[in-house]
Amino acid sequence: MTRKSWRFGALAGVAAAAVALGLAELIAVVTGSRSAPLVAVGGVVVDHVPESLKQFAITMFGVHDKTALLVGTAVLLALFAAVIGALSVRWLAVGFAGIGLFAAVGVAAALTRPNAGPSAALPALLGAAAAGATLWLLVVGPLAPAEVTELVAPSVHEEEEAVEGRRRFLKSSGLIVLGAVAVGFAGRWLSTRRSVSTARAEVRLPPPATPAPEVPAGSDLRLPELSSYVTPNDDFYRIDTALVVPQVDPAEWKLRIHGRVRNEIELTYADLLARPMIERYVTLACVSNEVGGDLIGNARWLGVPLKPLLDQAQPLDGADQVVGRSADGWTCGTPTAIMRDGRDAMLAVGMNGAPLPIEHGFPVRVVVPGLYGYVSATKWVVELEVTSFADYDAYWVPRGWSQQGPIKTESRIDTPRGRNSLKAGPVTVAGVAWAQHRGISKVEVQVDNGPWQEAMLARAVSDDTWIQWSWTWEATNGDHVLRVRATDKTGQTQTSQPADPAPDGASGYHNVSVSVG
């Protein structure tokens, strides 16, 4: 056994793994993209990694955390495949056992994803079979380099043949890897073509029975670094556990309101669109948002109010939780009382004048003003199950997050930023503040350890949205720290006590260090 043959084996292993994954992606076009082993295993990882790691991923990679996970998984898999391939040069059985093990993991992951049918096992199974064939072909079969079968005291002719054999091996394994990658990407591309974007383009949303109030003049200060008052759909943060965006066809969509209710309700998309709609500006915020972070956005939502629907369903006494369930099995628990207290809790179908973007929950999601997204904003919602907090913990609760998630009063400085070069003299300090459903009454800014000074508040559509603020600072040369705090309309000033996002939202004052001069 030479070092070279180990390396050939490693390459054979990687080629076999590429064939498995590439073919699996292609089969998943038919069996559903969540049955592809990379996505299925990634999904299990997402559901089971420790919370701290997930928060780390969100902090590190932001909205690219999913791509990072898929790429990371592929790289890890390639490393394992290389090791197993190298070992299979000596012990072919190890190679087949390794493939079997990965197939088992892939099948188990695919079959245990929510709503998976038996066909979900096919991509991993057929992929593994093809990987086995590839490994055999490259390690002992017609494409194996001579070295792999070991030469003792070779003649010149045998030597030449060996060189030729190695060349053939390298060329064919390279081609196999490239071909497999191409097939894999083609599979992914075909899967996305089976998306519901055509169905979405055909949706005609009805006009609202009660339109959103006009955005008052002066609610958007339009400063270069300040977040706009209304967040365009393309800039809206996205947070969810879905590795591939669920594709829910509105023609097949149904919502079941059931559980501890007197009257079960089932609605189709057409039923929903036939009901009177409201249109409201609501600022959505993620509980994972760090102080100063950008997992928050404000949109105009069009939807059907939830209160009348729940009134019609008639929750039983003690049924204090409504669990939203998405097409991909994610769950979220909202207090029944909050959904019925008269605030604009809704089943949203439109966002900023367009049908919901697919990644924001098309065709239907829940929006509830005043609550973090993880306890209110179920995207791709297909079920509302009325139950109690005592009887059911939704997705994030066993993972260390609080059952109750009212949004904390918070504020953020958007400008200036630490990297800006500032001159002494008047400098506009500005940002946003939010306390959804309570409203903001006051924002104050502090320079270094000076007195708190009241900022000017822009206007807002309602207490359910964030609000912009600004304050003119007479900047002096030197290094300074700018700090902000908000007070809500109940009279509560946000706490200065720093807290991590887990378990129920970050707190503390946002500050920015700047140098002037």
Ligand X SMILES: Nc1nc2c(c(=O)[nH]1)N[C@H]1C(S)=C(S)[C@@H](COP(=O)(O)O)O[C@H]1N2
In the complex, the residues that contact ligand X under the rule CB under 6 A are: 236-242, 284, 286, 326, 330, 360, 373-374, 377-380
Half-sphere exposure of 408 (CA within 13 A, CB side): 27
Residue 352 binds which of Mo ion, ligand X, none (CB < 5-8 A, kind-dependent): none
Which of residues 12, 103, 120, 239 is near Mo ion by CB under 5 A? 239
Location of structure tokens 């800006």? 420
Minimum Å distance from CB 489 to Mo ion? 24
Minimum Å distance from CB 209 to ligand X? 24
Nearer to Mo ion, 5 or 231 (CB): 231
Residue 377 binds which of ligand X, Mo ion, none (CB < 5-8 A, kind-dependent): ligand X
Output Rg (C-alpha) for the chain, integer angstroms.
Answer: 28
Residue 289 binds which of Mo ion, ligand X, none (CB < 5-8 A, kind-dependent): none
What is the full DSSP assignment across 414-429?
A: EES-TT--B-SEEEEE
Residue 436 binds which of Mo ion, ligand X, none (CB < 5-8 A, kind-dependent): none
Query: Is 236 an interacting residue with respect to Mo ion (CB under 5 A)?
Result: no
Check: CB of residue 120 under 8 Å from CB of residue 31. Answer: yes
Query: Is 286 an interacting residue with respect to Mo ion (CB under 5 A)?
Result: yes
Minimum Å distance from CB 131 to ligand X? 32
User: 380: which DSSP letter?
Assistant: T
Stretch that binds Mo ion, among 251-259, 280-288, 360-368, 447-455 (CB under 5 A): 280-288
Check: CB of residue 68 under 8 Å from CB of residue 61. Answer: yes
Nearer to ligand X, 82 or 364 (CB): 364
How many Å apart are CA 101 and CA 487, to the nearest integer? 57
Residue 444 binds which of ligand X, Mo ion, none (CB < 5-8 A, kind-dependent): none
How many Å apart are CA 371 and CA 146, to the nearest integer? 66
Stretch that binds Mo ion, among 101-109, 272-280, 283-291, 458-466 (CB under 5 A): 283-291
Residue 241 binds which of ligand X, Mo ion, none (CB < 5-8 A, kind-dependent): ligand X
Minimum Å distance from CB 373 to Mo ion? 4
Query: Is 516 an interacting residue with respect to Mo ion (CB under 5 A)?
Result: no
Classify 370 in phi/psi space as left (phi over 0), alpha (psi -120 to 50) or beta.
left
Binding mask of the shown chain, residues 356 to 375, with x at each position contacting Mo ion by CB under 5 A: -----------------xx-
What is the full DSSP assignment across 168-233?
A: HHHHHHHHHHHHHHHHHHHHHHHHHHTSTHHHHHT--PPPPSBPPPPPPTTS----TTSPPSSPPG
Based on DSSP, count helices (H) and strands (E) in the chain, helices before strands: 11, 18
Stretch that binds Mo ion, among 16-24, 64-72, 238-246, 443-451 (CB under 5 A): 238-246
How many Å apart are CA 384 and CA 259, to the nearest integer? 8
Check: CB of residue 282 under 8 Å from CB of residue 437. Answer: no
Which residue's CB comes closest to ligand X? 373
Nearer to ligand X, 9 or 303 (CB): 303
Cα end-to-end distance, the chain, whole Å: 68
Give the helix/strand (H/E) hosting 413: strand 410-415
How many Å apart are CA 388 and CA 391, to the nearest integer? 5
Tokens standing for residue 216: 């008052």
Nearer to Mo ion, 68 or 104 (CB): 68
Cross-strand partners of 473: 427
Nearer to ligand X, 145 or 361 (CB): 361
Residues that bind Mo ion (CB under 5 A): 239, 286, 373-374
